[in-house]
Amino acid sequence: MKYTIDDFARLIDHTNLHADATEDDMKKLCAEAKKYHFKMVAINQVQSHFCAEQLKGTDIDTGAAISFPLGQTTIACKLAETEDALKNGANEIDYVVNLSQVRAHNWAYIEDEMQKMVKLCHQHQVPCKVIFETCYLTKAEIKQLALVAKKVKPDFIKTSTGFGTAGATVENVRLMKETVGPDVKVKAAGGIRNTDDFLAMIAAGAERIGTSSGVKIIEALKKRFAEDGISAIEI
C-alpha cells in the first residue's frame, strides 16, 4: 500500500496524557492536530470537553483514555467513565483491560468487560480500543487476549499505555495482528518516537499509531520525501 504524507498523518493519534498537562498544553495539542491533520488527539478523560470544543468543525477526533493507565477499576466504573467522556464530546475510547484478571487468566471476566465496553461505544457509534499493556504479559497471554478480542470485535487492540515498563514492539504488533486477523485493527503505542520505528510498526500490521512525537515524525517524513523526490512510500 502506498502512503502520502497525509495518509501517514491520518494514522497518528496525537498524544498528551501527562498528569500535569495544562489547558495551554491541550490548546497546543489540538492546534498541532489541526495543522498536521492527525486522526485524533489522545487525552485523559477529564479533558474531553475542552478538546472536543477546540476541534469542533474538524474531522479530528477526541480520544478519551479510560481507567488509565492501570486498568484497575471495576467494569461499572469503566462504563461510567466512558459515558461521561462521551457526554462531554469524546468520540473515540481507549480503555485499559483489567490486567490483574488477565494475569489470573480469568478470560470470562475479560470477555465480559470487553463486551460491555464495546457495546456501549458502538451504541454511541464511536470506536473502542482495548489497551493490553503488553510489557506485563507473556506471549501466550497476549495471544489469548487477542483471541478474546477476535471474538468480541472491538475496533482496535492496542499495545501499550506508554506508562508501563516498555512500549510497543514490532514482535508484539505482528503477534496481535496475526491473531485477530482482518476484523480487528491494531494500534501501536508507547515509545514510538522516530520515523524508522513508525514505519516498522505499520509494516508489522499497525493501522493506528499513538505517539507524542507525531510532529517530529511527520516533519522527518516530509524531509525524506523532498530529498528523495517522492510523493508516497509503499509499505
Which one of the listed residues 39, 78, 129, 187 is annotated catalytic? 187
187 is a catalytic site residue: yes
**Partners of 188 in the β-ladder:** 209
Which one of the listed residues 129, 158, 177, 185 is annotated catalytic? 158
Q: What element of type H or E holds 84?
A: helix 75-87
What distance in Å separates the CA atoms of residue 112 and residue 102, rounded to the nearest whole number? 12
Q: Which DSSP string do the residues of 19-82 spell out, in sequence order?
A: TT--HHHHHHHHHHHHHHT-SEEEEEGGGHHHHHHHTTTSS-EEEEEESTTT--S-HHHHHHHH
Residue 34: how many CA atoms within 13 Å on its side-chain side? 14
- If you ran DSSP here, which 8-state letter would residue 165 be given? S
Which one of the listed residues 94, 129, 177, 185 is annotated catalytic? 94
What cell does 139 get?
A: 506471549
- If you ran DSSP here, which 8-state letter would residue 158 be given? E
20 is a catalytic site residue: no
28 is a catalytic site residue: no
Catalytic (active-site) positions? 94, 158, 187
